[in-house]
Amino acid sequence: MDFDLSDDQRLLKDSVDRLIADRYAFDARKKIMAEPAGWSRDMWAQFAELGLLGLPFSEAHGGFGGGPVETMLVMEAFGRGLVLEPFLATVILGGGLIQAAGSPEQQKAILPQIAAGKKLLAFAHVERASRYNLADVQVTATKDGESWVLNGDKSVVIHGDSADTLIVTARTAGSRFDRNGIGLFLIDAKAQGVTIQGYPTQDGTRAAEISFANVRATGVLGDPAGGLAPAEKVMDQAIAAICAEAVGLMGEMHTTTVDYMKTRKQFGRAISEFQVLQHRSVDMFVSLEQARSMSMFATFSAGETDAKSRSRAISAAKVQIGKSGKHVGQEAVQLHGGIAMTMEYKVGHYFKRMTILEQLFGDTDTHTARVAAAGSLF
């Protein structure tokens, strides 16, 4: 397998790395986090100018025409910078669902607006009792003439308080856990009957609790009873993306820790000279490289058409990311000592984000069970 980047991919990587290094230093991030929305509209405009917001979309829709590898490169850089903007919510999840299930007319109307930075999306799928199961849907969608009316509640909607349009999973037929009878509906976030309560999460990003009371959908993506398959496909692609983000986080934690060990002195010597601490930093690097390998595996598997094979590979990668992230994060905090627990130092913030990513879209235990149920990876 060829792991070398093409010229275009190297150019993309260099451009994103340079932007994050120049504009997303830790002190700059704190200022961005203090903005009313919790992220920067100016930075979002820069992402659009670089073509990042159209990264996975075709050129016909104003996009970059990139694939999973390009997404991996961007998400790793975003992990290193602890980027707060709603790229995952709008481009990966929202745009991914429009591509996977939307009609040509819907794609033509929405995707160019995302690429230009003019429209924000959020995927409202989690319910308070759903526990990582996309088929566990109790929000209802009832046909009323030519449109659909939604009722129910969604929870922990990533960047749901910033979205212009919500993509909502709702049940049109069947009972609670049925895989059939689930649709993907477009809802204007400002529509009558929509109640949004936004809040910051532990890692500094944003989420929202959203209620729907007789809300009329503006459209439906594809079959109103067949939305689960495209939702699962896009969710797998999103997990591959956050695996890459986690690698960026772990890489930054490891680099920062090694640099600190070279300057922190104890008993008149830099602590990097103590062999037992050298071993621990090497173990961190091994965990990082294991995570990097599985992130690449997830990236190359994200485009597979066979759903079982794709999901099995993605779950295996999520397991390794969870284990590596916990190890690297704990070692980074311990080797820094008390300073790592302060709000003024960045290592603790990286570990917070890593902890959120371990839980996001299925924790390590959940994906371990899925891998075990699926059997061999090959």
pLDDT of residue 128: 94
Rounded Cα–Cα distance for residues 3 and 172 (Å):
44
- Burial label for 206, CB within 10 Å (0-12, 13-18, 19+), is buried
Superfamily of domain 122-226: Butyryl-CoA Dehydrogenase, subunit A, domain 2 (2.40.110.10)
What are the extents of the domains in the chain? 7-119, 122-226, 229-374
Spell out the residues 6+ positions from residue 186 whose beta carbon is closer than 8 angstroms to its own.
106, 165, 166, 167, 168, 217, 218, 219, 220, 221
Per-residue H/E/C for 318-358: HHHHHHHHHHHHHHHHHHHHHHHHCCCCHHHHHHHHHHHHH
Contacts 24+ apart (CB under 8 A), 70-73: 70/9, 70/12, 71/237, 71/240, 71/241, 71/244, 71/299, 72/240, 72/241, 72/244, 72/295, 72/296, 72/299, 73/5, 73/9, 73/12, 73/13, 73/16, 73/244
pLDDT of residue 1: 55
Superfamily of domain 229-374: Butyryl-CoA Dehydrogenase, subunit A, domain 3 (1.20.140.10)
Q: Answer for the pair 231, 135: CB distance below 8 angstroms, yes or no.
A: no
pTM (2 decimals)? 0.95
Tokens standing for 325? 């992230």
SS3 content of the chain, % helix, strand, coil (to 5): 55, 15, 30
Other CB atoms within 10 A of residue 209 CB: 19
pLDDT of residue 102: 95
pLDDT of residue 377: 65
The DSSP symbol for 268 reads T
pLDDT of residue 178: 94
Grouping H, G, I as helix, E, B as strand and the rest as coil, residue 277 is: helix
Tokens standing for 89? 């919510």
CATH number of the 7-119 domain: 1.10.540.10
pLDDT digits 0-9 by tens, 86-117: 999 999 999 999 999 999 999 999 999 999 99
Residue 200, H or E segment: strand 194-200
The residues of the chain scoring below 50 in pLDDT are none
